[in-house]
Amino acid sequence: MKFAIIFLFILQFISACKPENEVTNPETETESETEQIIYDNIAATDALNRKLPAWEEVGDIREKKYVGLFYWTWHTQQSNYSNRTAYDVSKILSENPDAINDFHHPAWPNDAGSFFWGEPLYGYYINTDRWVLRKHAELLALAGVDVLIFDCTNGNYTWKESYMALCEVFSEARSAGVNTPQIAFLLAFGPTEGSKEAIEEIYRDLYKPGTYKDLFFMWKGKPLIMAYPDNLTEEIKNYFTFRPGQPAYNTGPSRNDQWGWLEIYPQHGYAQKSTGYEEVPVGVAQNWSADRGLTAMNAPNSFGRSYTNHSGQIQGRDAVNQGYNFQEQWERALQLDPQFVFVTGWNEWIAGRYEMWQQQYNAFPDEFSQEKSRDIEPMRGGHGDAYYYQLAANIRRYKGVGRMEPPSTELTVTIDGAMDEWEKVKPLYTTPRGNTLHRNHPGWRGIQFTNTTGRNDFVSTRVARDKENLYFLIETDEEITSSTDQGWMWLFIDTDRNRNTGWEGYDFLLNRISPSETTITVERNSGGWNWEKCGDATYQVSGKQMEIMIPRDALSLKDKKLNIEFKWADNLQEAGDIMDFYL
């Protein structure tokens, strides 16, 4: 399916994809050489009825503010190149709840090197899946993430095959207009022999050749690496800016160049300068408890997603979806206002199992369940994409957002295939080319992912209005397919911006019923995934462009100010499941 584009249209202003003032930071002693990511100023309301903050709330883009996201490239090798089964601890325990109390219970497979805590939205994937990598590139660019920091903290493992695949896909995405995050590495928490070997390897294979140098995240004029320089050659020491990682969750920096990766609340500031702190870590959850300190995620009273320092463990069936721990940590970071926020994490998903670890029997150190886990990447079921939107919202609060471009004046558009009139309509909403990529890649053992639903590749859209009608123009990368195709060119419209009305907030849907040669059916939501006809719209397809004219009466917008959200989608497979927009 084509990744849908979501926009906000208000008579007084536009929440556009292209901010009015893009900020580029010049090279200085303390900031990245690379251009600060300008993320799309899209409108969104999540499943918890939380709206992404707009410019009116967070203000203009702030210079010298960066967000790093901990990212795991290990799934290809952890799956033994698709030869190891994806065992899911949540599924095992749902069928065998007593197994958690018995390390030797027969429900625990003998061939499991690690266990998933839940299922990712994109399935039990491996990191060489180009389709998944392209999805990550777009989602994280839209959220405003500046750099992915790869976890290489275990021994001398660098997961080269996976990080190289990511670099290739991200470079291709950049050429298509996706302002992807850049990359850096976090190595072992000390100058170990394994860390030395890993740093030498990534320097030799990635940094020194410079093939993907546009992806290197720069700090103080050099590529950033979170590692200890103590036992390295002068050549490597001089190449990187080193920020050694502090492993402890509660002590703060033990040297003035350290950065944190995960802490309990209230987090410390790291690398203090005269102008403030360089860095503050923000976590979703912590494998820590007040009684034990560092412990396994499945230990009693560990600090899960619903734990806060202020209120302790927050109860309630919906608490796990709210991100209370994550939000408390973000508020601390916003208070300290550093140059760099390190967020843990995106896609760890798995943990080993040990008979005894940090005072916990049958221990899962880092990940265990929906509550006792720290991944932000959308999951199948559970909290869905709630943590992704919470991440995006807090990045906006930290970094600001582009000022909205004002809309052009009222204009009556003739639906005739001519584009001259549309050139007067502002703003132009854009989305990168190339995200109708098909998927055909193995996952963990026994899984083959196939998705060939990508079809019409949206690249831009405009909205015009007069007193009688709304007008929409959508443009695709190649000629629009036949109107007889299933699920062809749907347009969702939320006319009241209230998620409690309509389907997932969308009050009207155009084109669910196959159109005639010139007419599209307009339907009003009647509850759930139920729709009833309320009018007709006129349309015309001319090669790569499709124009639609909708009477205001059909949308109950006659003589009303416009404050709407709209979403284009093509070739949905699971009508009624909003998460299908991601697939």
33 pLDDT more than 90 = no
Dihedral over Cα of 495, 142, 282, 346: its sign: positive
pLDDT of residue 41: 77
471 part of a folded domain: yes
Q: Rounded to whole angstroms, how far apart are CA atoms 145 and 36?
A: 10
pLDDT of residue 571: 97
pLDDT of residue 293: 98
Co-location of 525 and 578 in the same domain: yes
pLDDT, averaged across the chain:
93
95 part of a folded domain: yes
pLDDT of residue 7: 54
Q: Note whether 198 and 187 are within 8 A (CB).
A: yes
408 part of a folded domain: no
pLDDT of residue 8: 53
pLDDT of residue 6: 53
Co-location of 184 and 254 in the same domain: yes
Tokens of 95: 């069928």
45 part of a folded domain: no
17 part of a folded domain: no
In terms of pLDDT, which residue wins out, 241 or 20?
241
Q: How many residues are present in the chain?
A: 583
Co-location of 320 and 440 in the same domain: no
pLDDT of residue 209: 98
Co-location of 355 and 270 in the same domain: yes
Co-location of 444 and 568 in the same domain: yes
Average pLDDT score over residue span 198-204: 98
pLDDT of residue 537: 98
Q: Rounded to whole angstroms, how far apart are CA atoms 406 and 484?
A: 37
Cα dihedral 527/512/565/451 (nearest 10):
110
DSSP state of 402: P
Instruction: Give the whole-number percent of the chain exceeding pLDDT 70.
Output: 93
Instruction: Give the whole-number percent of the chain exceeding pLDDT 90.
Output: 89
pLDDT of residue 13: 29
508 pLDDT more than 50 = yes
pLDDT of residue 255: 96
The domain boundary, picked from 399, 430, 459, lies at 399
Provide φ and ψ at 396, rounded to 5°: -65, -40
Q: Note whether 327 and 335 are within 8 A (CB).
A: no
38 part of a folded domain: no
Co-location of 450 and 390 in the same domain: no
Strand ranges for 427-467 from DSSP E: 429-430, 439-442, 448-451, 458-465
In terms of pLDDT, which residue wins out, 485 or 25?
485
Q: Note whether 32 and 142 are within 8 A (CB).
A: no
Co-location of 429 and 364 in the same domain: no
Number of structural domains found in the chain: 2
Co-location of 460 and 337 in the same domain: no
pLDDT of residue 12: 31
Q: Rounded to whole angstroms, how far apart are CA atoms 62 and 334?
A: 13
Co-location of 369 and 434 in the same domain: no
pLDDT of residue 403: 85
Tokens of 393: 């919202």
Average pLDDT score over residue span 250-267: 98
Break the chain down into helix, strand, coil percent, rounded to 5: 20, 25, 55
Q: 172: domain CATH number? A: 3.20.20
Q: Return the H-helix or E-strand segment holding 8.
A: strand 2-10
- The pLDDT confidence band at residue 42, using thresholds 50, 70 and 90, is confident
Average pLDDT score over residue span 119-135: 99
Co-location of 292 and 429 in the same domain: no
pLDDT of residue 405: 84
Domain carrying residue 565: 421-582
In terms of pLDDT, which residue wins out, 47 or 3?
47
Tokens of 99: 């197994």
Enter the pTM of the model: 0.93
pLDDT of residue 406: 87
11 pLDDT more than 90 = no
- The pLDDT confidence band at residue 262, using thresholds 50, 70 and 90, is very high
pLDDT of residue 21: 35
Q: Note whether 445 and 111 are within 8 A (CB).
A: no
The amino acid that residue 423 corresponds to is E
Co-location of 336 and 444 in the same domain: no
pLDDT of residue 25: 37
The conformational region for residue 434 under phi > 0 = left, psi -120 to 50 = alpha, else beta, is: left
Tokens of 360: 């916990």
4 pLDDT more than 60 = no
9 part of a folded domain: no
Q: Rounded to whole angstroms, how far apart are CA atoms 111 and 207?
A: 36
Co-location of 502 and 357 in the same domain: no
14 part of a folded domain: no
Tokens of 579: 């998460």
Q: Rounded to whole angstroms, how far apart are CA atoms 194 and 204?
A: 15
Pairing mode of beta strands 340-344, 66-71: parallel
Average pLDDT score over residue span 256-280: 97
Q: Is 90 exposed, middle or buried (0-12, 13-18, 19+ CB in 10 A)?
A: middle
Tokens of 432: 């990168």
The domain boundary, picked from 367, 399, 431, lies at 399
The domain boundary, picked from 399, 432, 467, lies at 399
Average pLDDT score over residue span 520-534: 98
Q: Note whether 338 and 279 are within 8 A (CB).
A: yes
